[in-house]
Amino acid sequence: MKLTVKEFFETYPEESRVELIDGEVFEMPAPSLMHQIILSRLLRKLFAYPNTEDKIVPSPIDLVLSEDTVLQPDIVYLSEKPERLDKIFSIPEMVIEVVSPSTFKRDLTDKMKLYERHGVKEYWLVFPLEKTIMVYELKEKGYELFSFATEKGKVKSKVLEGFELEVEEVFGGL
């Protein structure tokens, strides 16, 4: 049975780790310790960047993309303060997903297509096991790889002009 956003929020309590993709519910397991350490390192770097206060939002947060799609990205960047403070109903400029084995296909295909279709300007995929970060920029024909690094080197953001991140700072010691 397919659900609408309204039915989804009536059925699942606010604290639920579930997503709604094209009306279909997907449960998400709790993230691993490695996932959370990487997420914390990413957040520390993003929060330290100028003018990001109150614009960087970590998971879990409901991002409502349409009448049948609610996602919970790992990190969202909003250039404007949202109208509501319970859920995000606007399209963020940037989304970051830390990819785990259980979310690999969804992050790399389904979610990427959804973010692309809804106009998210920049999509980061962070692969802990491969120690790789890929940054995609939305162009006229869809997402194109803008920046990537594996094990060493830097990735950069187009949305956060001048923001660069050393891959070793994210994965070092893991």
**The predicted structure's pLDDT at residue 37:** 97
Residue 24 lies in a domain: no
Q: How many CA atoms lie within 13 A of 131 on its CB side?
A: 14
Residue 68 lies in a domain: yes
**The predicted structure's pLDDT at residue 173:** 92
Domain with 90, as residue range(s), is 29-171
- Cβ contacts of 67 within 8 Å, gap of 6 or more: 4, 5
DSSP element (H, E) containing 34: helix 33-48
Residue 16 lies in a domain: no
* CA distance readout (Å), 20 to 3, 16, 40, 95, 110: 8, 11, 25, 17, 11
Q: How many domains in the chain?
A: 1
**The predicted structure's pLDDT at residue 15:** 78
Residue 17 lies in a domain: no
Residue 147 lies in a domain: yes
**The predicted structure's pLDDT at residue 171:** 97
Structure tokens at 89: 């109903």
Instruction: List, for residues 116-155, the tens digit of each pLDDT value.
Output: 999 999 999 999 999 999 999 999 999 999 999 999 999 9
**The predicted structure's pLDDT at residue 167:** 96
**The predicted structure's pLDDT at residue 13:** 82
**The predicted structure's pLDDT at residue 169:** 96
Residue 18 lies in a domain: no
- What's the rounded Cα separation, in Å, for the pair 169 and 75? 17
**The predicted structure's pLDDT at residue 147:** 98
Residue 1 lies in a domain: no
- What's the rounded Cα separation, in Å, for the pair 54 and 124? 20
Query: What's the CATH number where 80 sits?
Result: 3.90.1570.10
Extended strands (E) in the chain? 18-21, 24-27, 56-58, 63-66, 69-71, 75-77, 94-98, 122-127, 132-139, 142-150, 154-156, 164-166
Residue ranges, the chain, pLDDT below 50: none
Residue 95 lies in a domain: yes
